[in-house]
């Protein structure tokens, strides 16, 4: 009598399908929802996790192909290399996430050296030695990739998620608008650590320790559950939690909006203080007045400025002033951001006065201006700047276009 297969063992094709789909979904979610223009450092490393998701998802679907259609020599040779590549991306993601998760100045020189790119030297050397010393190099490559890159890479990713959630996702008023955001980082951390154990410690059987004792076959015999099923559950958990924690970019946008509103109130209060006129100040003055946040984006503009610039208010609010209005020099060349007196005022915390310069209208024509820039400080921190300008164009000069005007 043939013994019955353990539970789930007869449905491994479904397990591999879900396993691969979860990691593909992880990669797609990051590609669709990652804000590449974000100021958050985590946004610059999420592509590594997406690459891991796509590559590892493809790897699991090759196992599905093996079960449904049979294996081929090409897949047998390619599968360990694909596994190695996927774990390299996971390890690099975890390494960088741990580094960016700590507040500035908290890392010691020793800790940073341990997590420098040189960490790959012992890892890859260990894999190479393990492969060379084995009479079955392809299985050895699979096992040692799991031990040295899979386990440590997933563990670093878990540690990084925990530290980032702890240090950068606080219980402030903006965070309360996104229920579960803080918890999503911790769930992702736990799922990565669990995946590191299930995918990096429990490996295919080999005739040497520890693979001879802790392996897929013994795990199945002991728990009557294929380790691939638990890995798939971890993959689904990672995909779902990462999808939720990516709302940190919405949190960032909300913080920017509220910060801009706060700065706007500071700017308006400053204007009321330094210039008389009370409620009608912005409408009565003939000078153009533009307020900007610390990033150079317009947060308010008066009617005189709108008239001179030929913009609607909604077309300027939230947009970079330099790129729209101050982008070209008097000789028709692009105006370097680092040379802009307006942005320099915020960098140096000092007043700037320019007797003659060009501002550009919406229709691509220019006019000559003189302007003054006052940085707005709160203590020693820059909050923004106020630009006050006048049109000093001589009759007949305004309105010309430069032949190479980028606008």
Q: How far is CA 21 from CA 29, 55, 81, 192, 402, in A?
A: 12, 11, 20, 17, 54
**Continuous segment of H or E residues that includes residue 158:** helix 151-168
The larger pLDDT score, comparing residue 186 to residue 170, is at 186
Neighbouring C-beta atoms of residue 399, cutoff 10 Å: 12
- pLDDT band of 11, cuts 50, 70, 90: confident
Of the candidate ranges 5-9, 275-279, 357-361, 368-372, the one whose mean pLDDT is the lowest: 275-279
CB 159 within 8 A of CB 189: yes
Mean pLDDT estimate for the chain: 83
The helix/strand/coil state of 360 is strand
Q: What is the dihedral of CA 282, 285, 287, 288, to 10 degrees?
A: 20
Q: What is the pLDDT at residue 364? A: 87
Model confidence at 406: pLDDT above 80:
no
Counting beta carbons within 10 angstroms of the beta carbon of residue 179, is it exposed (0 to 12), middle (13 to 18) or buried (19 or more)? exposed
Question: Using the 8-state DSSP alphabet, how is residue 338 labeled?
Answer: G
The larger pLDDT score, comparing residue 276 to residue 236, is at 236
Give residues with Cβ within 8 angstroms of 182, minimum separation 6: 165, 169, 171, 175
Q: What is the pLDDT at residue 173? A: 47
The CATH code for residues 269-391 is: 3.30.450.20
Residue-range domain boundaries for the chain: 9-246, 269-391
Q: 184, 9, 160, 33: which is closest to 91 by C-alpha?
A: 160
Angle between helices 227-245 and 46-69 (to 10 degrees): 150
Long-range CB contacts for residues 228-234, cutoff 8 Å, separation at least 24: 228/12, 228/15, 228/16, 228/19, 228/63, 229/8, 229/15, 230/194, 230/198, 231/19, 231/195, 231/198, 231/199, 232/15, 232/16, 232/18, 232/19, 232/22, 234/191, 234/192, 234/194, 234/195, 234/198, 234/199
Which phi and psi (to 5°) does residue 347 adopt?
A: -70, -40
| Rounded distance between C-alpha atoms, residue 141 and residue 134, angstroms | 9
Q: Is 0.85 topped by the overall pTM?
A: no
- pLDDT band of 277, cuts 50, 70, 90: very low
For Cα atoms 353, 354, 359, give the angle at the middle one, nearest 5 degrees. Answer: 125
The larger pLDDT score, comparing residue 399 to residue 331, is at 331
Model confidence at 395: pLDDT above 60:
no
Q: What is the pLDDT at residue 397? A: 45
Structure tokens at 46: 């999420």
Mean pLDDT comparison of 10-14, 230-234, 385-389, highest-scoring range = 230-234
Q: What is the pLDDT at residue 331? A: 78
Q: What is the pLDDT at residue 104? A: 61
Structure tokens at 158: 């878990």
Quickly tell me which residue has 């229920």 as its tokens. Answer: 179
| Rounded distance between C-alpha atoms, residue 209 and residue 217, angstroms | 14
């Amino acid at each position: 009598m043939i013994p019955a297969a353990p539970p789930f063992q007869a449905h491994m094709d479904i397990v591999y399908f879900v396993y691969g789909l979860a990691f593909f979904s992880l990669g797609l979610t990051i590609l669709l929802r990652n804000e590449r223009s974000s100021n958050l450092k985590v946004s610059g490393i999420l592509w590594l996790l997406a690459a891991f998701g796509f590559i590892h998802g493809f790897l699991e679907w090759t196992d599905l192909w093996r079960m449904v259609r049979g294996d081929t020599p090409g897949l047998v040779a390619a599968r360990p290399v694909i596994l190695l590549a996927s774990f390299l991306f996971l390890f690099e993601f975890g390494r960088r996430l741990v580094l960016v998760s700590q507040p500035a100045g908290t890392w010691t020189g020793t800790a940073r050296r341990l997590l420098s790119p040189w960490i790959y030297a012992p890892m890859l050397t260990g894999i190479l030695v393990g492969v060379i010393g084995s009479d079955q190099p392809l299985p050895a490559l699979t096992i040692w990739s799991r031990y040295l890159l899979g386990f440590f890479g997933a563990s670093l990713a878990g540690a990084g998620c925990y530290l980032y959630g702890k240090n950068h996702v606080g219980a402030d008023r903006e965070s309360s608008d996104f229920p579960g955001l803080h918890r999503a980082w911790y769930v992702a951390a736990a799922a990565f650590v669990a995946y590191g154990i299930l995918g990096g410690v429990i490996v295919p059987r080999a005739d040497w320790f520890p693979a001879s004792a802790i392996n897929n076959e013994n795990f199945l015999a002991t728990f009557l559950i294929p380790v691939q099923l638990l890995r798939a559950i971890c993959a689904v958990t990672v995909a779902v939690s990462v999808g939720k924690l990516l709302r940190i970019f919405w949190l960032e946008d909300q913080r920017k909006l509220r910060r801009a509103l706060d700065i706007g109130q500071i700017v308006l209060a400053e204007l009321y203080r330094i210039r008389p006129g009370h409620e009608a100040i912005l409408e009565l003055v003939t000078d153009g007045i533009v307020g900007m946040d610390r990033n150079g984006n317009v947060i308010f503009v008066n009617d005189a400025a709108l008239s001179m610039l030929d913009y609607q208010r909604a077309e300027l609010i939230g947009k970079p002033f330099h790129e729209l209005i101050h982008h070209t020099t008097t000789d028709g060349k692009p105006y370097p951001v680092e040379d802009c007196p307006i942005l320099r005022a915020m960098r140096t915390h000092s007043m700037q006065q320019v007797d003659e310069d060009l501002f550009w209208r919406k229709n691509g024509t220019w006019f000559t201006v003189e302007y003054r820039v006052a940085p707005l400080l709160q203590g020693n921190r820059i909050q923004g700047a106020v630009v006050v300008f006048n049109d000093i164009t001589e009759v007949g000069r305004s309105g010309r276009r430069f032949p190479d005007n980028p606008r």
